[in-house]
Amino acid sequence: MSHTYNPLRTQFLPISQEDLAERGWDSLDFVFISGDAYVDHPSFAAAVIGRVLEAEGYRVGIIAQPDWTNPQSYLALGVPRLAFLVGAGNMDSMVAHYTANRRKRSEDAYSPGGKAGYRPDRATLKYVEGIRSVCKGVPVIIGGIEASLRRLVHYDYWTDKVRRSILLDSKADLLVYGMGEKPITEIARRLAAGEPIHTITDVRGTCVFNYGEPLLDPHCTVRLPDFETVARPDETGKRAYAWHFMLQKEHADPISGKILIEKTDTRWVIQNPPPLPPTTEELDHIYELPYTRQSHPVYQQAGGIPALTEVAFSLVSSRGCYGSCSFCAITFHQGRVVRGRSQKSLLREAALLRELPEFKGYIHDVGGPTANFFRPPCPKQAKGGACTTKECLSPEACSTLRADHREYLEVLRKLRALPGIKKVFIRSGIRFDYLLLDHNFGEAFLEELCAYHVSGQLKVAPEHVSDTVLNIMGKSGNRVYEQFRKKFEAINRKLGLKQYLIPYFIASHPGSGLNEAIELAEYLKKTGFIPDQVQDFYPTPGTLSTAMYYTGLDPRTMGPITVSRGERERKLQRALLQFDKPENWPLVREALIQAGREDLIGNRPNCLIPGTASSAHQKPEAPHKKSEPRSGGGNRPELKHKSRRTPSS
């Protein structure tokens, strides 16, 4: 069985001709071209897909971060027998390279030593172009976050334009979207049986293209607005884009979703329905494959791969998320149907961690996109998929939702009891609104969370305090967060612990103008918590919020919505969230005057900044001292596709 292997004796997948010679292989079935460095851990896409195919009997090699300026680098492992697999990495390459304000990043956590520059912009396009230039006739299959979220017409923030499907732009043969283990296994089987790539058109979780309108059953097919219409920069185009997005969202469920077709020039992109969610047994199998759980030794001299640090001793307990935050693309990638692993599998993996020499007794996380979503929220989702016309938690919790932390709590208790385990942390995020809905086990879970699974600070994501903005974000109202905050403080007082909530907030999200940003600043002033760093809204492919940003419409209602587009207003909103910094006072003053809120300028307790230049060295009087410390929350690129902890193919 897969769980009997020893990670200290397992081999890395081959990355060189020397590795092939050591195995006695003269060729490979698949070569995976990856935009990330090769980390053989179940939180990294290339490792997961490689190990899944290996378990099916295929020979797989990895070319990690090839030199895209030298096309011969794609042939380092020879020509694969069945196909090249191409993935830009665990993050969209543009998100990996640029901040929300389009500034170049100097670091890349998925590259050797954390240094930037090891992959190109739009890595999927560049890699396929390079492969095609040196190797004709071999199938090329693209996948991963970058391809998955760009699989159909999409708004591209970095060029401020609507782009075609990445399948057409890349000239690949096939696109795998979502979590790719099931699709790639079926494709491999059919390729190995001699079926040509151009006839593999019906696999769930894939997109293909066709010259001429496809002949499909109209009862099972939905036609999306054409690219030429959606790409128009006028009101007609914006409304078509919003409608296009809602049709995708409506058909993102594997049970009820239909085939989507989209016309671009003379070609048609065909999106097959999503793959069926993995069973618990299938998840157990995937995460217990023989990973070395380390970065490849070739990166040791460069300092290793920083992205491994956070997840090296973490356990992926579930997939999918029914939280449906507007700014998150997880529902378009992993889906809303939640599936969790078995307790036995998680305990086996935890026991395996103890064999690693670097393990010090601390499990860093037990979770997924949302840690306390461990099983489906209602019988309908368990049997028939997610609802297409309503959300589970917003604007109010669905009447059929059954919040239950019992099984997740049992897992945590059993993990804590394992010999050699000193501490089990939870870092992948808690939905506090869901927790409060559990009237049977929620209180016990929160108490044990505070007692055993938090180390001084618990990071949570209320995101805003304006109920108008929260509704647009798909989040519960601010009163829910306040209720949770009070419970958290009460339980820590009961336990005699001094622990703090570290809330994340987003500036300049659609729906948030200066008035809403000021409302948030006033809340921060009142509570005494001011973040060290602020997350600016980042319009990335595959999110409802990005559709709002581009169109100026709420696609759910087609009504107009406030959008902060200019860099100046984004700066003003960001400065308001850090109003206590003297270097921000000119921007804060400009924002307050512009909004007609001069009442917040002065030295009174409610004021945000000093009133005159002569008092600029003095901060306004604080209303009262609060116990929360300043946060080091940081910029969160993972907000756009919370799949950092979970692999994508």
Cα 305–Cα 429–Cα 156 angle in degrees, nearest 5: 65
> In the prediction, which pLDDT does 640 show?
35
| HEC sequence for 196-229 | CHHHCCCCCCEEEEEECCCCCCHHHEEECCCHHH
d(C-alpha 409, C-alpha 441), whole Å: 8
* Strands 500-507 vs 535-536: parallel, antiparallel or unpaired: parallel
> Which pLDDT band holds residue 96 (cuts at 50, 70, 90)?
very high
d(CA 216, CA 226): 17
pLDDT at res. 629 = 36
- ∠ CA(169), CA(192), CA(54), 5° rounding? 90
Q: What is the mean pLDDT of residues 231-248?
A: 97
Quick one: 556 exposed, middle or buried, by C-beta within 10 A (0-12, 13-18, 19+)?
Answer: middle
**How far is 484 from 379, CA to CA, in rounded Å?**
27
Q: Is the pLDDT of residue 635 over 70?
A: no
**Is 158 in contact with 187 (CB distance < 8 Å)?**
no
Q: In percent, how much of the chain has pLDDT > 90?
A: 85
Residues of each annotated binding site: 321, 325, 328
Q: Is 492 helix (H, G, I), strand (E, B) or coil?
A: helix
pLDDT at 613: 54
* Cα(13)–Cα(9) distance, integer angstroms: 13
Residue partners of 288: CB distance under 8 A and separation at least 6: 2, 3, 345, 348, 349
What is the distance between the alpha carbons of residues 27 and 135, in angstroms, rounded to a whole number? 15
pLDDT for 232 beyond 60: yes
Residue 218: pLDDT band with limits 50, 70, 90: confident
Model confidence over 387-446: pLDDT tens digits? 888 899 988 899 999 999 999 999 999 999 999 999 999 998 899 999 999 999 999 999
Residue range 33-53: average pLDDT?
Answer: 97
Query: 201 near 270, Cβ under 8 Å?
Result: yes
Residue-level pLDDT at 194: 97
pLDDT band at 617 (very low <50, low <70, confident <90, very high): low
Write down the pLDDT at residue 324. Answer: 87
- Residue 13: predicted pLDDT: 97
Encode pLDDT of 526-582 as tens digits.
Answer: 998 888 878 899 999 999 999 999 999 999 999 999 999 889 999 999 999 999 999
Q: Which CATH number fits domain 2-208: 3.20.20.70, 2.40.30.10, 3.40.50.2300, 3.40.1280.10?
A: 3.40.50.2300
Confidence band for 8, pLDDT divided at 50, 70 and 90: low
Mean pLDDT of 42-60: 97
Q: DSSP assignment of 599-634, as one string? A: GGBSSSTT-SB-SSGGGTTSPPPPSS--SPPPB---
User: Any idea where the domains of the chain sit in the sequence?
Assistant: 2-208, 458-465+488-537+547-638
Q: What is the pLDDT of residue 619?
A: 60
Between CA 572 and CA 599 the distance in angstroms is: 17
User: Which tokens go with 134?
Assistant: 């040196």
Burial string for 210-233 (b: 16+ CB within 10 Å, else e) reads beeeeeeeeeeebebbbbebbbee
Beta bridge mates, 316: 367
Q: Is the pLDDT of residue 649 over 60?
A: no
Mean pLDDT of the residues in the chain: 91
Do residues 509 and 461 make contact, with C-beta atoms less than 8 angstroms apart?
no
Q: Return the exposure string of 395-428: e unless at least 16 CB atoms fall within 10 Å of the residue's CB, then b.
A: eebbeebebbbeebbebbebbbeeeebeebbbbb
Residue 20 CA to residue 53 CA, distance in Å, equals 17
> What's the mean pLDDT in 64-71?
97
Residues comprising the binding site for [4Fe-4S] cluster? 321, 325, 328
pLDDT digit string, tens, across residues 289-335 = 999 999 999 999 999 999 999 899 999 999 999 998 999 999 889 99
